[in-house]
Structure 1
Amino acid sequence: MYHRHATQTVQSALDAQSAVVLLGPRQVGKTTLALEIAGQRPSVYLDLERDADRRVLTEPDLYLDEQVGKLVIIDEVQQMPDLFKTLRGQIDMRRRKGARTGQFLLLGSASNVLLHQSAESLAGRVRYIEMPPLLLDEVGEDRMNDLWLRGGFPDSFQADSDQNSLAWREDFLRTYLERDIPALGPRIPAATLRRFWTMLAHAQGGLLNAAALAEGLGVSGQTVGRYLDLLVDLMLVRRLQPRHENAGKRLVKSPKVFVRDSGLVHALLGLGSLESVLGHPVIGGSWEGFCIETLIAAAPIGTEPFFYRTSAGAELDLVLRFPSDTIWAIEIKRTTTPKVSRGFHLSVDDIKADRKILVYAGEREVPAGDGLRAMPLATAVEQLRNL
């Protein structure tokens, strides 16, 4: 068991809101977290993928009326979309009786679908929280290479060998492609979506080139957009948007695309060991994506992530704009040499960044000139957590 940062986030949200929706891909640890919380307060747990639990909610109001005073945890809630209207009535009824917080914890594996289903019914009554895979400061800095290679899905990370970890991720990919995605409605051949996902892994961290992807798959650009939207909605792919507020510059306006879990990147490319990753052309994109996901997850709630690139080639790998409007400019390099290009400093001036950071493969934080601080990933994470 690892202490998950999301546990405290969910507990705090339950103390302030009637219902909390915990979102995340399958197998990311949502159920484990929910059962941990259930052990700390009167609770009932229902899994809507089990027929017996679905039958319990055949007359949902009758059942939920008996659970007043308990936290009701409903797993895979998107399986019963009509339930949201019932939950709205239950929340309003309990509010009239003075119970305003900690009533329902809803777990879902389909972000956009779930948000669409619940937005109208539970508006003003619910808080949404995304749960990422295991993070560096949850497993420890000494396990960083394992986390990068295997990714953060707990069963993959905790496998007893790299070989078994890779086998788990292969099964995970197959299950999503053959069962989970078709269950959401899209009629996409599993082999086609697997090819698309693999193409994204090969281009990890590159600018989105929908035309090239469409040509490679033999489909239209519109179809590529639909495939990408699906994987983004499932929280399996990140579309990192460019920052383009400087009207005086010719800026790149295409997003960068990352497969969010580094372990899935490596599984899609058949890379089962650290040595195979280190010798593969994807190493730079894989490391950048791993760092970006780690840093975004550690940033305060409400932080907006971007990248910045001019047509002349000046670039920032990651720009974080915090709710306070403070801006951090972050360069990511898998090198032990704490140096950045002139384009980095030009970009920093363009966006008027308040802090300049180089995340590198060294072991200590050092000054790197002109206000730049070079530091290991774990140090950058710690500084973000302390904001």
Structure 2
Amino acid sequence: MIKRGDRKSVEDSLENQAGVVLLGPRQVGKTTLAQDIAESRDAVYLDMERSADRQVLEEPDLYLDEQVGRLVVIDEVQLMPGLFKALRGQIDRRRRQGYRTGQFLLLGSASNTLLHQSAESLAGRVSYHELTPFILSETGADSISALWLRGGFPDSFLAKNDKTSLAWREDFIRTYLERDVPAFGLRIPAETLRRFWTMLAHEQGGLLNAAKLAGNLGVSGQSVARYLDLLVDLMLVRRLQPWHSNAGKRLVKSPKVYIRDSGLAHALLGIETQEDLLGHPVVGGSWEGFCIESLITAAPRGTEANFYRSSAGAEVDLLLKLPRGGLWAIEIKRTTSAKVTRGFHIATEELDVSERILVYANDKEVPGQGGVRAMPLMSAMKRLASA
């Protein structure tokens, strides 16, 4: 059992709010985490994928009135969008009865859909948390190669060998395409969406070129936007937006797109072993995406993430605006040399950043030129976590 770093923050929120909404893709460990939390208190667990549990909540107030004082865990809550109004009434009534915190733990697999459904009904009543696949601070620095290759989904990372891990990820992708996407009522051919997802994997970390993708797929630009919105909503793809605060510069306006879990990107490309990965053209983009996801996850809640690129060649792979102030510029390279590009120096001077960091493939933290500090990924994550 690998201890999840999110457990304490979820439990702290339950001590201060009536409910917590825990977001994350399927198979990422939301249910396991919720059940671990439930074991430490008086709780009841309901799964909206089970018809018997859905029937229990067809008249939600009749059932939930009997559970006052207990933690009610509801899994895949986005499958019953009408439930949110009932939950608002339950929370408000319980407050009047003196039960103000720790009432509901809601688990969902689609972020934007669930946030939209719950925003009006539960505004000010719940806290939102995202559970990602395993990150390096949870698995340990020695596991970095395996985590990068296999990704952080628990069953993939903990598989007995690389072949078994790849088979799990291929089944995961097939299930999402054939079962989960249709469950959202979206009529997108599974093969078309798979081709689109694979194209994104080939361009890992590249600027979004919707017209090129549409032409290769034989669909409209609107369809490409819809496919991308879906994968972002399912928390499988990250759309990293460009930094646009400097109106006087000619800046890139297209977002960068990453498959969020490196293991899924590798499965889409048929990459099974470390040797396959190191010899593949996507290796640089894959490493960059792996580091970016790790750093964003390690950063304090409320951190804003962007990249920066100007037409003159100034570039920063990852800009993090921290909630308590400070703008961190991070360069990511699969190299043991503690040197950054000239474009990085130009960009950091233009942006007046507070921290300049190079994440590189060495295990030593050393000072570089121009105020840049080179360090391994784990060290950068620790610095962010304590910022």
Q: Which amino acid aligns with 2:173?
A: L
After TM superposition, give the deviation of residue 344 of structure 1 in Å.
Answer: 0.6
**Which residue number corresponds to residue 359 of structure 2?**
359
1:1-387 aligned at under 5 Å gives the runs: 1-387=1-387
Deviation at 1:201, TM superposition (A): 0.2
Q: TM-score, normalised by structure 1?
A: 0.99
The separation in 1 between residues aligned to 2:284 and 2:85, in whole angstroms, is 47
Deviation string, structure 1 residues 288-317 (Cα, Å, up to 9, x no partner): 000000000000011000100011222100
Q: Distance in 2 between matches of 1:310 and 1:116?
A: 34
Task: Compute the displacement of 1:110 (Å).
Answer: 1.2
Bigger mean CA offset, 7-16 vs 293-302: 7-16
For 1:139 and 1:359, locate their aligned partners in 2 and report how far apart those are by CA, in whole Å.
Answer: 19
One-letter identity of the residue aligned with 2:19: A
Query: Which string of whole-angstrom CA distances, capped at 9 and with x for unpartnered residues, describes residues 215-260 of structure 1?
Result: 0000111110111011001100000000021122111111000000
Q: Which amino acid aligns with 1:58?
A: E
Q: How far 1:81 sits from its partner (Å)? A: 1.3
For structure 1, which segment, 123-132 or 275-284, has the greater mean C-alpha deviation from structure 2 after superposition? Answer: 123-132
- Structure 1, unmatched stretches of 5+, are none
Q: Aligned partner of 2:370: which letter? A: D
What one-letter code is carried by the residue in structure 2 that aligns with 1:66?
A: E
* Residue identity opposite 2:12 in structure 1: S
| Equivalent position amino acid for 1:70 in 2 | R
CA drift at 1:58: 2.7
Aligned-partner Cα distance in 1 for 2:244–2:92 = 43
**After superposition, what is the alpha-carbon deviation per residue over 1:76-131, rounded to whole angstroms, capped at 9, x for unaligned?**
11111111111111101100111111100000011111112111211111111111
Output the CA distance in 2 between the equivalents of 1:33 and 1:264.
Answer: 22
Q: Taking structure 2 as the reference length, what is the TM-score of the superposition?
A: 0.99
Structure 2: which amino acid aligns with 1:337? S
Partner amino acid, structure 1, of 2:115? L
The gaps in structure 2 that reach 5 residues or longer are none
What's the secondary structure of 2:324's corresponding residue? coil
SS in 2 for 1:31: helix
Offset at residue 63 of structure 1 (A): 1.2
User: Identity over aligned residues, as a percent?
Assistant: 70
- Report the CA distance between 1:164 and its aligned residue: 0.3
| Residue 56 of structure 1, CA deviation | 1.8
Partner deviation per Cα, 1:258-308 (whole Å, 9 max, x = no partner): 000000000000000011010001000000000000000000011000100
Amino acid at match of 1:189: P
Q: Give the AA of the match of 1:331.
A: E
Provide the secondary structure at the position in 2 that maps to 1:94.
helix
* Aligned counterparts of 2:313 and 2:341: Cα–Cα separation in 1: 11
1:132-169 deviation digits (Å, cap 9, x = unpaired): 10010000000010000000000000000100000000
Q: How many Å separate the matches in 2 of 1:225 and 1:55? A: 36
User: Which 4+ residue blocks in structure 1 deviate beyond 4 angstroms?
Assistant: none
Q: Distance in 1 between matches of 2:135 and 2:21?
A: 20
Q: Take 1:57 and 1:224, find their aligned partners in 2: how far apart are those partners?
A: 37
**Secondary structure at 1:258's aligned position in 2?**
strand
CA deviations on 1:47-93 (whole Å, 9 max, x unpaired) are 11112212222321111111111100000111111111111111011
The one-letter code matched in structure 2 to 1:98 is G
- Report the secondary structure of 1:199's partner residue: helix
1:271 and 1:178 mapped to 2: Cα distance?
22
**Secondary structure at 1:26's aligned position in 2?**
coil
Figure out how many residues of one structure are paired with residues of the other and give that number.
387
- Cα distance, 1:19 vs structure 2: 1.0
Partner secondary structure for residue 15 of structure 2: helix
Q: Write the distance in 1 (CA, Å) between the matches of 2:251 and 2:81.
A: 42
Q: Which moved more, 1:15-24 or 1:46-55?
A: 46-55
CA distance in 1, matches of 2:22, 2:230: 19
Quick one: distance in 2 between partners of 1:250 and 1:292? 24
